[in-house]
Amino acid sequence: KTQNTKVSVQPTKATNVNKQLKPTASVKPVQMEMLVPKGPSPTPEDVSMKEENLWQAFSDALLCKIEDIDNDWENPQLCSDYVKDIYQYLRQPEVLQSINPHFLDGRDINGRMCAILMDWRVQVHSKFRLLQETLYMCIAVMDRFLQVQPVSRKKLHLVGITALLLASKRASKAGEVDVEQHTLAKYLMELTLIDYDMVHYHPSKVAAAASCLSQKVLGQGKWNLKHQYYTGYTENEVLEVMQHMAKNVVKVNENLTKFITIKNKYASSKLLKISTIPQLNSKTIKRPHLPSDGEVLAAAPSSMHFLLLV
């Protein structure tokens, strides 16, 4: 006979499903660090300027405290925002396209023939009342063409020559000149058109010399820092050109040349009779020098020398 035995089973802790679980402690978030590869720290970009280029970052006018004559933005025709760049550019072609001295040597024509042609063209220019810029422009075309292309005497009437009157207006504006000084400067410049010995001078230099000499003749101050800044020339640099101009004045005043059309043109009342003013017979014209240097550096040739040059 089998014996029925009872085995008591006691519940274990694992089987106690009725027991409530105690809440666990709050878990703190772990702060993650971004791992950056080690290496040399980047250096800031060097934006400093070289010492020799540092001056370009500042305006010369501000450094020198020179009056800005182009501060006329209210007139759009004067291109106030671009005028300095324009004049800086104009200095480049006058050097690249400059005329060589004695460029007619060995040609069928010579400087005297060009002077005769120029004297006639001034008459035509006055008769048709053309702008003075037109006169200089046709002269420029002539010299540049004759320098590279031989021309016969029969075709000499197709020539022209230039000196950029714009440079003369620029110097007049910087000097704040009156109409008398401006007209005298134009007269001095126009006399250079028949001077074969002056064809190689840059137009801007001729304009600066005309402004400086007219200033001296009329006794209207000295060539100051503002003139030097806006023309780009010191008084010493234009002295040689002024001596040529003085020579031309003496030649027409003392009848040492036959080319007097320009003198007659500027003897009209319309041009203030500027070629007849007594100052053109003064010592400033006959012996131009630089009084600021304290001595006469170089004198213009005397009348006897002019006789040999004609």
For the chain, domain boundaries: 76-239
Of residues 288 and 133, more confidence is placed in 133
Q: How far, rounded to the nearest angstrom, does the alpha carbon of residue 18 sit from its chain's CA centroid?
A: 103
Do 87 and 69 touch, CB atoms closer than 8 A? no
Per residue in 235-274, pLDDT tens? 999 999 999 999 999 999 999 999 999 999 999 999 999 9
Task: Tell me how far CA of residue 99 lies from CA of 8, 22, 129, 226, in angstroms.
Answer: 132, 108, 28, 29
Mean pLDDT rounded to a whole number for the chain: 74
Phi, then psi, of 93 in degrees rounded to 5: -65, -30
Distance, CA of 46 to CA of 260 (rounded, Å): 65
Q: What mean pLDDT comes out for the span 110-123? A: 84
Query: Tokens 């010299």, residue?
Result: 143
Per-residue model confidence (pLDDT) at position 123: 82
Give the single-character DSSP code of 170: H
Q: Fill in the amino acid letter for 264.
A: N
Q: What is the sign of the dihedral through the CA atoms of 84, 87, 93 and 98?
A: negative
Per-residue model confidence (pLDDT) at position 296: 33
Per-residue model confidence (pLDDT) at position 182: 92
Query: Taking Cα atoms as reference points, which of 253, 284, 282 lies closest to residue 266?
Result: 253
Q: What mean pLDDT comes out for the span 199-210? A: 92
Task: Tell me how far CA of residue 82 lies from CA of 4, 60, 173, 230, 258, in angstroms.
Answer: 122, 16, 16, 14, 44
Q: CA-CA-CA-CA torsion for 87, 89, 91, 95, nearest 10 degrees? A: -160
Q: Selecting from 1.10.1660, 3.40.50, 1.10.472, 1.10.3720, what CATH number does the domain 76-239 have?
A: 1.10.472
3-state secondary structure (DSSP) of residue 32: coil
Give the single-character DSSP code of 292: G
Per-residue model confidence (pLDDT) at position 31: 55
